[in-house]
Structure 1
Amino acid sequence: MTNDDNKPYIVLISVHGLIRGQNLELGRDADTGGQTKYVVELARALGEHPSVGQVDLITRRVADPTVSEDYAQPIEPLSANTRIVRIDCGEDTYIPKEHLWDCLDNFADNLIEFLKQQPRRPAIIHGHYADAGHVGTRVSHHLGIPLVFTGHSLGRSKRRQLLAAGHSKEALEARYTITRRIEAEETTLGVAERVITSTHQEINEQYALYDHYQPERMRVVPPGTDLQQFHAPAGDEYSTSIAAEVARFLQDPGKPIILALSRPDPRKNIVQLVSAYGESKELQELANLVIVAGNRDDIRDMDTGAQEVLQDILMHVDQYDLYGKAAYPKHHQSDEVPTLYRLAALSKGVFINPALTEPFGLTLIEAAASGVPIVATEDGGPTDIIGNCQNGYLINPLDREDIVAKLLRVLTETAQWQTLVNNGLQGVKQHYSWQAHVEKYLQVIQPLLEQAQASPPVQAKRRKQLHHDRALFSDLDQNLLGKPESLAPFITALQANRKCVLFGIATGRRMDSAMQALKKHSIPMPDVLITSLGTEIYYAPNLVPDTAWERHIDHLWNPRIIRRTLQDLPGLKLQPNREQSRFKVSYYIDPQIAPDLQHINKLLHQEGQAVNAMLSFGQYLDIIPVRASKGLALRWFADKREIPLERILAAGGSGADEDMMRGNTLAVVVANRHNEELSDLTQGENIFFAERPYAEGILEAIEHYHFFQTCEVVTS
């Protein structure tokens, strides 16, 4: 083992999973994924750098007949000065990371003994994931070595997502030991002298959830990309099987390709892209649209969210008659993805990522490395990537005209197209190759390498404002959009109290329409977005859908029977498909000739349909599941976040808001209310009737209830 005393000895720790130098078993289980690949490639790339003396990647030794003998070898050389070192950690068998917590101190003690036996001490220790953070903290304290930390994923974010998916808190503890993980992350963040992330968004929206949030110690070092796999076209891509699969959809396969590649997930916003393409004759004449949305045999066998997205894509292809212009292959192999990018490059096309939110955007880097200009959402990682590479344009993902304009700009400016390609190829080498990653990594840790020993841990104060004490929920159209000039003081007051008061929107709009309105009027992203009259709940920052809520409201819901029962009634007309959703059947209603709401409910009850029928503004009738409404969704959320209803201020102005404002919530009816629909509320308790309209009325209620002044947040 080469060991140059004048060059730093770097120790990387990645405890769980199956780690070896060759033939990584990626995807074998939840513990053997992207992180294991990353740490092995990082160790190799660091070891190849001329200024690094030695690199040890420390992991757990596993002696288990159910896995390869490779994982039982104490030492595995990767190069002359780089090796994988496997340390005993409790029992020898291969067990999930969630069950390792009780043996991590044993692992740390064994690692300390190993390091004491080395010719010299490491210059830094870099822990990857919470378990390695815990071990790294122990080693750092004992040996006085500076600690670097990368969370990869964080417990607080995971807990939010799993609660949204319907898991109980008890189940999270039993299966994921989530509290121990979060506490380990908190302790590590208090000790680590550098925290390395992939994007600024991770710092601002994920690490910011922690008490020991120290942004001054955090640095963005984007992960490296395999430039052997992703590269400019070689010229033989048209002869591949995936090229033939795409071409069979198209009348003129030689046109430039607009390529979209993602999971069939509503947040990826592919349907909006299809609509934008369908509404632009110029785009259709210039280019083909190629959508690669996962693999499928039968859409009916997929989960509900994927089904809806794929069905929407197919319906929009049919609506705009895009046959021969749009390709949507059913299958592709992972090793065909680079070829898809190169096909787009050969065609003088463009890669687009229109996602509503995009924390990083690895596909954009892969496309750039393959010689394709990019168009991407103005959220999160793409802003960093396009800022670094100057190889494309940002879009508002909810503005079809903006999507079309940016795509046309790439496709029609021929000379600029080549400039974007060249910028992308150069930018990826400079910012996103493994060599670039290591250069920036070493710059980040250089001040630590010059230290004689670790700095003392920062005693960060518990940030009381982290834990929301109360919540403010508002309708969108009737409360916030009608008088734009009243928004600014409301937003200012909200932002000043955002760490104490959770902000929610409850609207009849669909999620995409609501997001478009929020962006247009510069309304801050809410912590929770209740849409389609309470039939959908989404959580910030990544618009994670509450799938447990979906399962809950699906009880007794049968929209086919509803449509059949009401199809011949006078004065009712179904609204366009864009206003319908899985859990909402929407009509225009003419009260002059249509039956009243009581009669409509009676007809539905006679057909065995227990539903909520809602009349809004005297002209809209919406039928939703009996378990769904704005008020019921609000209470579901309040129960999950353990926020008492007495500390929730609900603001509304139409009949659809009524059950949000009844009961134990504090409530305000803004002055521009729809009087007839909310007349019964005059007798309710805790309901304030504002004298001012729209956002001004909400501010009036905030003062009336002393809502911001009475925050009494507690730590947990």
Structure 2
Amino acid sequence: MSELLQAVLDSDEKKDLRILMSVLRQSEKKYLLRNDILNLYGDYCQANQISPACLQSSNLGKLIYYTQEIIQDDTSFCFIIRPQIASQEICRLNDDLSWDEMSVEELLDLRDRLVNRYHPADGDLFEIDFGPFYDYSPIIRDPKNIGKGVQFLNRYLSSKLFADPKQWLESLLNFLRVHSYAGNQLLINPRIQSQQELSTQVKKAIAFLSNYPDDKPYESFQYELQSMGFEPGWGNTTARVRETLEMLDELLDSPAPQTLEAFISRIPMIFKIVLVSAHGWFGQEGVLGRPDTGGQVVYVLDQAKNLDKQLKEDAILAGLEGLNIETKVIILTRLIPNSDGTRCNQRLEKVHGSDNAWILRVLLREFNPNMTQNWISRFEFWPYLETFALDAERELWTELHGRPDLIVGNYSDGNLVAFLLARRMKVTQCNIAHALEKSKYLFSNLYWQDLEDKYHFSLQFTADLLTMNAANFIISSTYQEIVGTNDSVGQYESYKCFTMPDLYHVVNGIELFSPKFNVVPPGVNEGYYFPYTRQEERVKNDCDRITEMLFTLDDPSHIFGHLDNPQKIPLFSMARLDRIKNLTGLAEIFGKSTELQEHCNLILVAGKLRVEESGDGEEREEIVKLYRIIEEYQLQGKIRWLGVRLSKADSGEIYRVIADHRGIFVQPALFEAFGLTILEAMISGLPTFATQFGGPLEIIQDGKNGFYINPTNHEETANKIVKFIQECQTNPDKWLEISANAIERVYSTYTWKIHTTKLLSLSRIYGFWNFISRENREDLLRYIESLFYLIYKPRAQQLLEQHKYR
């Protein structure tokens, strides 16, 4: 991109650049983001009658397109240019049109100066740099392959097996030796002592098994295989055992990535899993819609149930039934004594619909009862996580009768607990962010001191840095969660380099090309969420009750508003009532559009109806705002606002009832990391309009099985919905077409069976990688521990002191 800047300076466009710089100087904004830059350049071109074609094809137009940020200094402009995904260049353009490249350190100093937080006399600010710790690990080259870490890792490991077979086959042999369950050796026994013996005995076992029918149970030939050196774990039938041994035979002779993945994925090494979801109201009834309690709870519960099922299926396929294998999944969360009618005060609760999945709640150590006995906001939770992890470790040893085989963290606080547990228990760690707050709040790192009292971002962003680097592997729901799109920076990408003025500079916060990143989208719970057309599975009384609640029920305690004409098309949305979910923005879109009001009623299922009922500051602000919008746009008779907490069964039926009425689902979030409600609506058969900011871009194929909207552009969003409604009026099959395509999209791509199979495969492969490269991680983990004690813990202690007086 520096060549592009030089090309502009060497051409007639140099004059245009100079004029544009003059326009920039007149701007009140000293820090322009991409949208600001494009708008300013568009206005400049329009004022100078420059054609759109020229705008797109000129070198200056291309330079502007790739520029992510412009920062004005006294005598220069800093251009942060993003020539491709996961890459950036920094150029300083001086007023005399000379330019030079800037280092990351210089950029961070400039950002500090912008907010008057630069103190050169005080010495250098603390720098965090994780770059050197990735020097030993393989690195992906092509940005298109980011998020396909396990595929890359399999190719890398296979090439190592081929290039240095002696060392790597020795590692593979040692890996096969270590597996056992409750004192029972698995896979191979001491009769096999060397790589050569392994190869010979594998071929001998394959020849032996060729004489048996495919469906003969493992127990029929178990002792013959043991005499050859093979213990249980290869399979439950002749065909399964032979197939697994053939994979190993092929791997020993001519390693290939697909063979390595298939073989390692079958190794019985995952029996007990801990899913950490620390904050919020974690329960199975009466919790959704409470502060900090939404999609993550749904995700983790569904994941736990399906992992429980998959672990049992894998144990049976591995031929381990004779060993009385007990698989178990534990969801680790906090116990809330003042549980407000929920079961969040119960230490142990079985997950409905599972054989052996449990919610284990651990009490926070007593400090100030006003804090530890009650719900604590996710923004205030940080001081309690270290002792929570220590106490949870003891509880897990008791419940699991040993250590887990995998620990999965959820959200920033859960990932920190997962790191602390995994480090102490020497277990593979997986991170799932769901959403990183840094992407939600504009300039949240730059102005962290102004936001600290409310959000405590210094703790959250530090925790994110530590845990994303500590994790053995990271699961994201979408590719753009990691590295964004051509036009936008990804959530993890935003941690690559940033400043927390007066606290630290991050010059290299995460290696985006590391194979630890994998895209594994969640599924949707098919027991509760299924197409509206499957009438035989629906309960008529529930359908009638939900229909009445949505359209006609008069219950001022839980429902605001009546509908003058309930027959209009229902425009429906369901989410927490907070700023990011932007339900007030949807109400404003509806209020501004007379055409939408002519065709539709707006129905919202969202949080509380009254300010005094909410303990969350952001929710209270949104409640006040929603009432103001209703009043301002005179929406009485056109809107229903349901302040109810729904069971999963009711939540599923509510989508189907809206579909019965040929309704539309709108997800208007300002940013959505993924969007489980989108999957729920689509599988129910609802045409869905969802935010273009975040994960929905990868769920929906625009115009085919749903639609993108820009919820910040109210007129454009309203027009898109109206256009679809008008198309459906002239062609009634249009609604049915989008509905059917939405259902098919979910079933083909977003099921929990796909998710859990992939997650367990990843766990085994990264467990293998961790085993053979263990010594290379210790220096990284020591560095992370140092940052934890130097930065995180002192700030957590400061917040704990503040909690004394709450």
TM-score by length of 1: 0.50
Q: Judging changes above 3 Å, is the alpha-carbon distance between structure 1 residues 408 and 180 closer, same or farther for their aligned structure 2 residues?
A: same
* 8 A Cα contact 2:592 2:633, kept in partner: no
Q: Judging changes above 3 Å, is the alpha-carbon distance between structure 1 residues 459 and 152 closer, same or farther for their aligned structure 2 residues?
A: farther
* 1:226 aligned to which of 525, 538, 555: 525
C-alpha deviation, 1:36, in angstroms? 4.9
1:622-679: CA deviation from partner (whole Å, max 9, x where unpaired)? xxxxxxxxxxxxxxxxxxxxxxxxxxxxxxxxxxxxxxxxxxxxxxxxxxxxxxxxxx
* 1:292 aligned to which of 586, 594, 604: 604
Q: Judging changes above 3 Å, is the alpha-carbon distance between structure 1 residues 275 and 123 closer, same or farther for their aligned structure 2 residues?
A: same
1:373-402: CA deviation from partner (whole Å, max 9, x where unpaired)? 112333222212213995222234421433
**2:329: which partner in 1?**
56
C-alpha deviation, 1:46, in angstroms? 0.3
**2:594: which partner in 1?**
278
C-alpha deviation, 1:254, in angstroms? 3.9
* 1:424 aligned to which of 730, 742, 748: 742
SS state at 2:407 partner: strand
- The two structures, once aligned, show a CA RMSD in angstroms of 5.0
User: Which range moved further: 349-358 or 328-337?
Assistant: 328-337
Separation in structure 1 between the aligned mates of residue 421 and residue 601 of structure 2, nearest angstrom: 53
1:193-250: CA deviation from partner (whole Å, max 9, x where unpaired)? 2212334454344323334323342233333433333333348435642244289955
* 8 A Cα contact 1:78 1:84, kept in partner: no
Equivalent residue letter for 1:148: C
1:523-562: CA deviation from partner (whole Å, max 9, x where unpaired)? xxxxxxxxxxxxxxxxxxxxxxxxxxxxxxxxxxxxxxxx
**2:383: which partner in 1?**
99
C-alpha deviation, 1:417, in angstroms? 2.4
C-alpha deviation, 1:78, in angstroms? 8.4
* 8 A Cα contact 1:367 1:374, kept in partner: yes
**2:274: which partner in 1?**
12
Q: Judging changes above 3 Å, is the alpha-carbon distance between structure 1 residues 253 and 165 closer, same or farther for their aligned structure 2 residues?
A: farther
Q: Judging changes above 3 Å, is the alpha-carbon distance between structure 1 residues 453 and 222 closer, same or farther for their aligned structure 2 residues?
A: same
Is 1:125 the counterpart of 2:404 in the alignment?
no
Separation in structure 2 between the aligned mates of residue 61 and residue 313 of structure 1, nearest angstrom: 38
Separation in structure 1 between the aligned mates of residue 344 and residue 640 of structure 2, nearest angstrom: 43
* 2:657 aligned to which of 333, 343, 363: 343
* 8 A Cα contact 1:129 1:150, kept in partner: yes
* 2:549 aligned to which of 228, 242, 252: 242
**1:370: which partner in 2?**
684
C-alpha deviation, 1:148, in angstroms? 0.8
**1:209: which partner in 2?**
494
**1:705: which partner in 2?**
none
Superposition pairs of residues 19-168 of structure 1, within 5 angstroms: 23=284, 26=287, 35-36=296-297, 38-49=299-310, 50-53=312-315, 54-57=327-330, 59=332, 71-72=346-347, 80=355, 82-83=357-358, 97-103=381-387, 106-107=390-391, 110=394, 118=402, 122-141=404-423, 145-154=427-436, 156=438, 168=450
Superposition pairs of residues 337-486 of structure 1, within 5 angstroms: 337-387=651-701, 390-397=704-711, 398=713, 399=716, 400-410=718-728, 412-451=730-769, 453=771, 455=773, 456-457=776-777
Separation in structure 2 between the aligned mates of residue 251 and residue 63 of structure 1, nearest angstrom: 43
Q: Judging changes above 3 Å, is the alpha-carbon distance between structure 1 residues 183 and 291 closer, same or farther for their aligned structure 2 residues?
A: same
Q: Percent same amino acid among aligned pairs?
A: 22
Q: Judging changes above 3 Å, is the alpha-carbon distance between structure 1 residues 388 and 11 closer, same or farther for their aligned structure 2 residues?
A: farther
Separation in structure 2 between the aligned mates of residue 125 and residue 388 of structure 1, nearest angstrom: 36
Equivalent residue letter for 1:57: I
Is 1:192 the counterpart of 2:506 in the alignment?
no
* 1:257 aligned to which of 557, 566, 570: 570
Q: Judging changes above 3 Å, is the alpha-carbon distance between structure 1 residues 279 and 165 closer, same or farther for their aligned structure 2 residues?
A: farther
C-alpha deviation, 1:25, in angstroms? 6.3
Q: Judging changes above 3 Å, is the alpha-carbon distance between structure 1 residues 413 and 449 closer, same or farther for their aligned structure 2 residues?
A: farther
1:248-289: CA deviation from partner (whole Å, max 9, x where unpaired)? 955654454333445485944325532675147xx94xx433
SS state at 1:231 partner: coil
C-alpha deviation, 1:111, in angstroms? 7.3
* 8 A Cα contact 1:76 1:84, kept in partner: yes
The one of the two structures with greater contact order (alpha-carbon pairs below 8 A, sep at least 6) is: 2
SS state at 2:526 partner: coil
Any gaps of 5 or more consecutive residues in structure 1? 462-716
Any gaps of 5 or more consecutive residues in structure 2? 1-180, 187-232, 234-267, 316-326, 484-489, 496-507, 555-560, 614-618, 782-806
Equivalent residue letter for 1:212: G
Q: Judging changes above 3 Å, is the alpha-carbon distance between structure 1 residues 75 and 100 closer, same or farther for their aligned structure 2 residues?
A: farther
**1:334: which partner in 2?**
646
Superposition pairs of residues 596-675 of structure 1, within 5 angstroms: none
Q: Judging changes above 3 Å, is the alpha-carbon distance between structure 1 residues 355 and 227 closer, same or farther for their aligned structure 2 residues?
A: same
C-alpha deviation, 1:411, in angstroms? 5.0
SS state at 1:148 partner: strand
Per residue, is there more helix in 1 or in 2?
2
Separation in structure 2 between the aligned mates of residue 337 and residue 196 of structure 1, nearest angstrom: 27
Q: Judging changes above 3 Å, is the alpha-carbon distance between structure 1 residues 219 and 257 closer, same or farther for their aligned structure 2 residues?
A: same
* 8 A Cα contact 1:270 1:354, kept in partner: yes
SS state at 1:453 partner: helix
Q: Judging changes above 3 Å, is the alpha-carbon distance between structure 1 residues 140 and 212 closer, same or farther for their aligned structure 2 residues?
A: farther
**2:117: which partner in 1?**
none
Q: Judging changes above 3 Å, is the alpha-carbon distance between structure 1 residues 348 and 171 closer, same or farther for their aligned structure 2 residues?
A: closer
